[in-house]
Structure 1
C-alpha cells in the first residue's frame, strides 16, 4: 500500500463567495470555493479544483487577456499570482487590507487594484511588456476619503473610471494627457455597483446599489486624447574642442535629464486633488460628460425593498444584467434600457454575475445557497446548474465500482456526484431533517439514506426517484445505517430510542427490533462476508454487541469497554473490527473469539487547534478529542481515521503505528485552525473575536453565533464554522479516499507516476537492458524487468510493442505475481488510452490465467470498462441518430429536383443531348 495520496478534487461545494470569471475562450468559468479555486469546463463537462490553497477565503479574481495568469485575492488582502499553465502559485503579495476590486487592462500591460480609498496600478508580468517583476507598482491614485468599490477601464487601456461608496465617479488617466487630468461627477446617492465604457468610446454607464442607472455621453473620442510626454524643450548641444593628431575636433554632448521624459511616467506618483504640475493645454478640447438619461431599475422589481447586489455589462452586445438581493435578475438592452428577460433563481441574494466573451452565456453565483448557474439567455437554457450542500456534509459513501459518490448533508439533501467529472447529476430532497448516513447497494441499483426525521429512504439510480420508505413503529431519530452484502436487509440505529431496526429490502416491512443497548446507538455495520448476516453495533453505553441479525436476532455477544464507543468498522475479510472510543483509543477485536488483538493511541495524532471560544488551554482541549469516523482500506492493511480536527491519519492495522498524516485545510476563515490565540485579540473583557460588530448601513450583521447553536442559519448571523472531518471512506479500487469536511467533500487520489517503487529489483535490471530484451523480441523478459522497475512509461512502452498474436504466449510466460501487477497497469491504462481493444485483449488473457485476482484490481478494471462503455455508447448513439437524419433528409432533397425535371422536360432534354454530344467529342479527341 502506497501513501502518495494527493488532493485531486473538491465536491459538495461549487461556489462560496466572490467574483466569477470566464476564460477568454468562453468555455470555462473560474469560481472561488473557500480558500481554493475550481475551474468548470463547460465544453467537456468537467470540473477541477486547483491544488493551491490560501490562508483565507478567496474573494476577488482577475484573469489576464492571454489566459496565462490569474490573480486571486483573499478576504484579508493577500494576493496570489497563479500560473494557469503550471497551475501553481508564482508569487504572493500582501496588501494588508481587504481589496474591493481587481482587474487587468484590456491590453494586458497593467493590473489595477482598488483598496480602501486608493487605486494602485501595477505593471503586469508577462509577454505583453516583457517584464517579469511581480507587482511592480507604476502609479497610485488617492483622491478622496471615500472607499473605492468598483472600477472599469476603457478599450484603449488609457482611462480608468472609479466608483466610490458615496456614489461619486472619478476618471483617471494611466498616462498623462494634455486635455485631461482628473474628472469627477456624481448623480447617485448610493454605492456604485457597476461601471462600463462603451466599445471604442468614452461613453459611460453607471449603476448604483439603489437601482439608479445613468447614461453618460463624452464630448470627445479616445483618439482625441493627446498624450503628454512631459519632456522639456530641446537644449542646445555644447561643443568643446579636443586636441588630436589631426588637429582640433569638435565633440558634442547631450545633457540627459533623468527626471524628465518617459522616466517620470514610470515613477510612482500619487495623484491628488490639486492641479497638476503641468497645466492642461487650452488648445485642445477638454474631456467633459453630459448625462443623457437616468432610469430607476427598482421599478422593474416587485419587491421595493430589494437592492442591486451585482451587475455586469457586455460592451459588444450592449446588454446589461442586473442582479438583486431577492434572487431575481434582469437583462436590459442598452442604451434604450429595454427589458429583454427577467428570471428569479432563488430567494437569496445574487452575489456575482459575469458575461463570457461572446455574451451568450451568463454566470450567476449565489453565496447563501452555494449555487452556480451558467445560463444561455438567448435560448433560455441552462449550460451549468450546480448547487452544493447549504450546510455541512454529514456523510459520504462510494459506489461499488468507485464511479459515484453519494453525500448526505445537514440540509436534508442527498446528492450523487460523478467522480470523473466532479459534477452533481441528481439531488434527492425528500428528507425533512438532516441526513445522518448514506449507503450504496452492492448492485449499484439504489442508494439508501437515513435521517433524524425517523425514516430510511431508498432511491432508484435508474429513474432517480424515492421508491421505498422505511419507518419505525414510533418516532425515532436515526443516526446510523447499514446494508448487508446481499443488499436484502437494511438496519438503522436510534439516537433517542436505544434500539436497532431491521427491514426487508424486497418486502419493505419491518422484520426485527433489536434491544439491548442502554445508550444511543452510535454506529452499526454488517459483515462484508457474502451470505453472512453478522452485525456489530456500538453505543454510548460502553459496549460492543455482536449480532446474528437474521437467524438468531435476540442472541448476541457483548464486549465491555472502558469508555463510550463512537464508531466501528469491519475489516474487508470480515475477521476483525476496529472501534473508536471517547478516550481517544482505537481498539481491534477478533470477531470469532471476541478477543482484543490490538490498540492504537490516536488522541495525540489529531493535534487539534484552539477555538476562539475556548476558555482552556490547547493541551486541555486535546484531552477531550477522539476519533469520530474511521474505515479500513480496500485491502485491509490500513485504517483511515479522523475527527474534530484538521488532520486525517492513516494507521497500520498490523503494527498499530501512524503511517501518514494529512492536513485537510489551512483556511483560517474556519475556527480551530490556529494552535494559539493571538494575544493582541485578548483584552480585559476577553477575546475580541467574541465581541459583536454591527454595520449600521446593513441593519446589523452580527459576527457572533448564538450560544449552543452549531448548525442551521445561526439566527441569520455571520458565523465562523469550526473545522472538522465528519466522515471518511476508502474507494473500493484502493486508488483514492474521500473525506466529508467543513469545506466540502475532499477527494485524495493516488498518483503512481510520481512514486518510484521498484519490485524485486536486481542490479542488472535497467531501462537499457529492458530495451535490449525488447529489441530481441523477448517480450516476456522485457515485460518482467519493466514490472520490476515499476516505471509506468517503460511498462506501457513494452506493452504496446508486443504484437497482438504474441499476447497470449507472453502472459503464460509470466509468473502469477507479475500477472497481478500487470493487471493493475492494464486497468489504469483502460481509463486514458485510446487502444481499447488492445488492452481489453491483455485483460482477457490475464483474467484467464489468474487464479484469485485481487478484488480491488477487479473493481478498478470494472470501473474503467464501464466508463469507456458509457463514452462509446454516447458516440454510437450520436452516429446512429445522425445517419437516421441523413437518410430521412435524402428523399426530401431529391423530390424537388424530380418535379423540376418534369416541368422543364423539354429544355432539360435538349441540354442533356448537347452535353452528351460534347462528352462524345471529348472522348474521341482523347482516343486520337
Structure 2
C-alpha cells in the first residue's frame, strides 16, 4: 500500500471568522476556515479547500477584479498573496500588527490595507499595473485618530474612503488634485462599520456601530476633479500677437501710480475669484441620516450593528446585527425590502455577488455560512459545522458518505465528492460518542450520553428506532454486526454491554463482566463470524459471541487501561490502544499477542501556553485514542491527544509515516516550546490574567481539570486534538476528526513513479509501438507494469470494443486486480462511460469466480463507488430529459388545440406581437434545447 497521502479537503467547518468574498462571476463563495481557505462552488454544488495553510487564522481577505490573485491576512498580520490559478502562495509580507481590512481597487492596479490608524496603498502586481514585484508600497495615510476598521474605493480608483473607530470617515486622494485634499465626514456617535461609494459618482454612504446611516452628496462630478499639474480651465492662453509686456506682473511694474496699482490689484482679485468658481472645490453635504437599529432594538435592546454590505448597481444595502438578524434596504430612500433572523449569534460578515441577487452571511459563533437569494426568499446554500468539537466519524461501506457526531448532540452526513453536509439529525439531547454505518448502508447508528442509541434511516432520513436500557446509562460506544441485525453499546457509568435487535427494537441481552467503563465495542467485519470484542478501563479486552453463546466470553489481560479497539478486515486479528501509549495486536481465535507497537514517542506532544511542565514530561500522559486498520489490513493508523497521525506496518511493528495535521498557532499545544518573547522575569506571561473592569471579562486561563469543553465564559484557545480516525473502505483516502474540522487525505499518484515487475524493454516508446502494431495484449501488460496512469489510459482507449472480451480472457490473474482498480479510477472521471462499462462487464464476467473477494475488497469497493456515483449523475440527466420531453409534449398539445376559444386561431395567423404560434412554439423548443445543453455541459 502506498502512503503518499496529501491533503484533499476540509469538511465539517465552513466558516470561522473574517471576510467573505464572492468570485467575479458570482458563482463561488470564498470563506476563511481557520488557517485555510475554502471555495464553495454554488453552481456545481462542490466545495474545495486550497492546499495552503497559514500559521494563524485568516481574517482579512480580498480578491482581485480578474479573480486570479487573492490576498489573505491572518490575525498576526502576515499577508499571503495567493494565486488561484496554481493554488500556491506566491509572496508573503509581514505587517507585524493586526490588519482589519484589505481591498483591491476597481482597476486592479492597487490594493489598500488598514493597519492600526494607518492606511497603506500598494501597487498590485499583474498586467493592470505593469508591476511584478509584490507588495510595493506607494502611499501611506495617517489621518485617523483611532484604529481604522473599513475602506472602499471610488469607481475610478482615484479616491479612498476609510472608516475608523474615531467616529469619522476620511477620504484620501490617491494622487494630488487641485480641488481636493483630505476630507473628513463626521456626524456619527460610534465607530464606523462600513463606508460605500456609489457606482458612477463620489456620493458615499457611511454606517456606524449603533446603526446610524449617513448619506453624503459630493459637490462635484468625477470629471471635474483636476490634477495638480493641470492649469485652471479659464486661465487665459497666451496670444502670439501679444507682446511680452502683457505678461508682466502688475504689482511689480516700476512705472505705476497708486491709482493704477490699486486698479491692477482689484482686477487680479476678480480673476482669482473667477478661477475659484471655475475650479469647484470638493466637499460633501449630508442629505439624510437614518437610524437602522431602532427596529432591531425593539426586540433586543443590546443589539448592535456588526456587519454591512452594499451592491452599487442595484443599490441594495444589507446590514447584520449581533442578535442574528439582517435587514435589506434600498438606497438612497432607505426603503425596507426584507428582514430575516438566521440565528441568535452575531453576523460577522456580509458579501453580495456581482448581480446583487445572492447574499452571503457568516456567523462566527456557530460556524454557519448562508447564501440567501432575497428575491425568491430561498437558501442557495445553508451549511453549518458542529458548534462544538467533532467527537467521532464513520465511513459508509462504499466510501461515498461520511457520518460525524459532535458534542453538540448532532449527527451529520457528508458527501465526500461535494464536501457538503446534506442532512443533520438533531434528536440526541447530549453529546454523541460514536457513530457507525450498517454493512448494507441502509441505516446509521449513533450512541450518546443522553442514555439512548438511535438508528437513522438513510433513505427517508428519519430516526426510525430508539434503543434504551432498563436504567439510564451513558453510552460511550456502539457497534453494528456485519449482517445489520444486531446493535451493541457499552456503558460509561454502568459497566455493561447492551445488545438489541434492529428489527424489533427489543433489548436481547445485557453482557456483564467488565469492572470499568466500556471504552470501545466492535463486531467482526466478516459475514461468517458473530464475534464481538470490547475494551475497558479495567485493563482487559473481552471476546464475546453473544449472539450464539450468550454471556460467555474470553478475557485477555492488558498492561494498561484499554482506550479503543479495531478489527482487521479479515476478522482474524484485533488491535487495542492502551493508556500507556502502546498498541497491542491479538489473534481473536487463540487470544495470543502477535504484535506490539510502542508508539508514545511517535505520538508527540505539544506544550500549552499555560502548562507548568515541559512537553517531554507531558508526553508521559499521552496515548492513542483512535485507531483503524487500512483496507488491506497491512497497516494501522492511529492518533490521539496530539497534532500527529501515525501509520504503522502491523507485521513489522514499525512506523511508516507521520502526518502533522496542522501548523495553526491559533490553536493551543501546537509547539513543543513556549516562545521566549512570552517569558518574562515573572515567568510565563500567559499565566497572568488581564481582566477587564467588569469581573470575569477576558479570562484566558482554563478551569482546573477541564479536558473537553469549558462551559464557562472564558476566552481560551482550543487545544489541537485528533478525536477520531477512519480509513476509507476503498483504501484511497482516510479521514481525521480534529479540532479544526474533518480533514480528508487522499493518495496522490500523479507524480510518483512506482513500476511493477519492470523489465528493460518496457518503455513508453515500446508500448506505443505495440499499439500501432495492434498488439493490444502486450501493450496493456507493459503499461500495467510501467504503472503510468496516462499511458494505461491511452492503451485501454485504443482497444476496439470488439476486442475487449478476447483481450480480458487472455490476461493472467495477477493483472486482473491492477486492471480493475485502473478501470474503476477511469470510470469515475472519464466521459467514455459505456466503453469502461464494457471493460468492467467483461472483467467481472470472465474472471469473477477467480477473484478473491477478501483480498480484493478495497478494489471492488472502489469500483462500486465509481458506479454508484456515475449512476447518480446519469439519473439526474435522465430525469431532466424526461420532464423536459413531458413539458414539450404538453406544450405541443396546447398549441395544437383548436376547440379552445382563447387559442382558436390558425397556426399561420399572426399574434399580437406579429409572430405566429408556430414560431413561438419553435422558439420555446429551441430555448429548452439550449438550456438542456448548457446544464449537461456544466
Scaled by the length of structure 1, the TM-score of the pair is: 0.91
Residue 450 of structure 1 aligns with which residue?
Answer: 447
Partner deviation per Cα, 1:708-761 (whole Å, 9 max, x = no partner): 344446323222000010100000000000000000000001122222110000
In structure 2, which of residues 885, 888, 891 is the aligned counterpart of residue 889 of structure 1?
A: 891
User: Alpha-carbon deviation of 1:92?
Assistant: 0.9
Residue 510 of structure 1 aligns with which residue?
Answer: 507
Is 1:334 aligned with 2:328?
no
Residue 75 of structure 1 aligns with which residue?
Answer: 75
> Residues of 1 paired with 2:575 and 2:904: CA distance?
87
Partner deviation per Cα, 1:3-39 (whole Å, 9 max, x = no partner): 0111101111110001000000000000000000000
Is 1:857 aligned with 2:859?
yes
Matches within 5 A, 1:238-253: none
Residue 122 of structure 1 aligns with which residue?
Answer: 122
Is 1:825 aligned with 2:800?
no
Matches within 5 A, 1:101-112: 101-112=101-112
Residue 142 of structure 1 aligns with which residue?
Answer: 142
Residue 284 of structure 1 aligns with which residue?
Answer: 279
Is 1:362 aligned with 2:364?
no
Residue 480 of structure 1 aligns with which residue?
Answer: 477
1:901/1:561 Cα in 2 relative to 1: closer, same or farther (>3 Å)? closer
Residue 566 of structure 2 aligns with which residue?
Answer: 569
Residue 781 of structure 1 aligns with which residue?
Answer: 778
SS in 1 for 2:750: helix
| CA contact 2:898–2:904 (8 Å) conserved in 1 | no
SS in 2 for 1:635: coil
In structure 2, which of residues 369, 388, 391 is the aligned counterpart of residue 391 of structure 1?
A: 388
User: Alpha-carbon deviation of 1:679?
Assistant: 2.6
Residue 874 of structure 1 aligns with which residue?
Answer: 876
> Residues of 1 paired with 2:903 and 2:413: CA distance?
60
In structure 1, which of residues 428, 434, 439 is the aligned counterpart of residue 436 of structure 2?
A: 439
User: Alpha-carbon deviation of 1:63?
Assistant: 0.0
Is 1:624 aligned with 2:608?
no
Residue 685 of structure 2 aligns with which residue?
Answer: 688
| CA contact 1:42–1:383 (8 Å) conserved in 2 | yes
Residue 261 of structure 2 aligns with which residue?
Answer: none
| CA contact 2:897–2:903 (8 Å) conserved in 1 | no
| CA contact 1:298–1:304 (8 Å) conserved in 2 | no
Residue 491 of structure 2 aligns with which residue?
Answer: 494
Residue 635 of structure 2 aligns with which residue?
Answer: 638
Residue 651 of structure 2 aligns with which residue?
Answer: 654
> Residues of 2 paired with 1:902 and 1:465: CA distance?
52
| CA contact 2:391–2:406 (8 Å) conserved in 1 | yes
Residue 216 of structure 2 aligns with which residue?
Answer: 216
1:896/1:118 Cα in 2 relative to 1: closer, same or farther (>3 Å)? farther
User: Alpha-carbon deviation of 1:213?
Assistant: 0.6
| CA contact 1:457–1:469 (8 Å) conserved in 2 | yes
Matches within 5 A, 1:507-586: 507-586=504-583
User: Alpha-carbon deviation of 1:697?
Assistant: 10
SS in 2 for 1:865: helix
Partner deviation per Cα, 1:398-426 (whole Å, 9 max, x = no partner): 00000000000000000000000000000
SS in 1 for 2:338: strand
Partner deviation per Cα, 1:883-920 (whole Å, 9 max, x = no partner): 11111111222336986997899999xxxxxxxxxxxx
> Residues of 1 paired with 2:440 and 2:763: CA distance?
45
Matches within 5 A, 1:759-838: 759-838=756-835
User: Alpha-carbon deviation of 1:625?
Assistant: 1.0
| CA contact 1:539–1:564 (8 Å) conserved in 2 | yes
1:697/1:196 Cα in 2 relative to 1: closer, same or farther (>3 Å)? farther
SS in 1 for 2:872: helix
> Residues of 2 paired with 1:755 and 1:907: CA distance?
69
User: Alpha-carbon deviation of 1:704?
Assistant: 3.4
User: Alpha-carbon deviation of 1:701?
Assistant: 3.7
User: Alpha-carbon deviation of 1:152?
Assistant: 0.8
> Residues of 2 paired with 1:82 and 1:563: CA distance?
48
1:202/1:901 Cα in 2 relative to 1: closer, same or farther (>3 Å)? closer
> Residues of 2 paired with 1:522 and 1:546: CA distance?
14
1:694/1:202 Cα in 2 relative to 1: closer, same or farther (>3 Å)? farther
SS in 1 for 2:897: helix
| CA contact 1:706–1:714 (8 Å) conserved in 2 | no
1:778/1:227 Cα in 2 relative to 1: closer, same or farther (>3 Å)? same
Partner deviation per Cα, 1:594-653 (whole Å, 9 max, x = no partner): 111111110000111111121111211111111111010000000001010000000001
Matches within 5 A, 1:664-683: 664-683=661-680
1:213/1:903 Cα in 2 relative to 1: closer, same or farther (>3 Å)? closer
> Residues of 2 paired with 1:386 and 1:768: CA distance?
50
> Residues of 1 paired with 2:47 and 2:427: CA distance?
27
1:314/1:776 Cα in 2 relative to 1: closer, same or farther (>3 Å)? same
1:847/1:186 Cα in 2 relative to 1: closer, same or farther (>3 Å)? same
Residue 160 of structure 1 aligns with which residue?
Answer: 160
Matches within 5 A, 1:686-725: 686-694=683-691, 700-712=697-709, 714-725=711-722
> Residues of 2 paired with 1:903 and 1:450: CA distance?
68
Residue 206 of structure 1 aligns with which residue?
Answer: 206
> Residues of 2 paired with 1:907 and 1:528: CA distance?
73
> Residues of 2 paired with 1:862 and 1:906: CA distance?
55
| CA contact 1:739–1:745 (8 Å) conserved in 2 | yes
1:696/1:864 Cα in 2 relative to 1: closer, same or farther (>3 Å)? farther
User: Alpha-carbon deviation of 1:702?
Assistant: 3.3
Stretches of structure 2 lacking an aligned partner (at least 5 in a row): 232-273, 911-938
| CA contact 2:703–2:710 (8 Å) conserved in 1 | no
> Residues of 2 paired with 1:281 and 1:665: CA distance?
64
SS in 1 for 2:760: coil
1:713/1:295 Cα in 2 relative to 1: closer, same or farther (>3 Å)? farther
> Residues of 2 paired with 1:204 and 1:52: CA distance?
37
| CA contact 2:394–2:436 (8 Å) conserved in 1 | yes
> Residues of 1 paired with 2:705 and 2:696: CA distance?
24
SS in 2 for 1:715: coil
| CA contact 1:391–1:711 (8 Å) conserved in 2 | no
User: Alpha-carbon deviation of 1:682?
Assistant: 2.5
Stretches of structure 1 lacking an aligned partner (at least 5 in a row): 232-279, 909-928
Is 1:416 aligned with 2:413?
yes
| CA contact 1:192–1:206 (8 Å) conserved in 2 | yes
SS in 1 for 2:356: coil
> Residues of 2 paired with 1:907 and 1:451: CA distance?
72
Residue 39 of structure 2 aligns with which residue?
Answer: 39
| CA contact 2:521–2:565 (8 Å) conserved in 1 | yes
Residue 54 of structure 1 aligns with which residue?
Answer: 54
SS in 2 for 1:508: coil
> Residues of 2 paired with 1:412 and 1:327: CA distance?
22
User: Alpha-carbon deviation of 1:696?
Assistant: 6.2
1:421/1:901 Cα in 2 relative to 1: closer, same or farther (>3 Å)? closer
| CA contact 1:705–1:715 (8 Å) conserved in 2 | no
1:695/1:29 Cα in 2 relative to 1: closer, same or farther (>3 Å)? farther
> Residues of 1 paired with 2:903 and 2:171: CA distance?
70
> Residues of 2 paired with 1:737 and 1:110: CA distance?
42
User: Alpha-carbon deviation of 1:678?
Assistant: 1.6
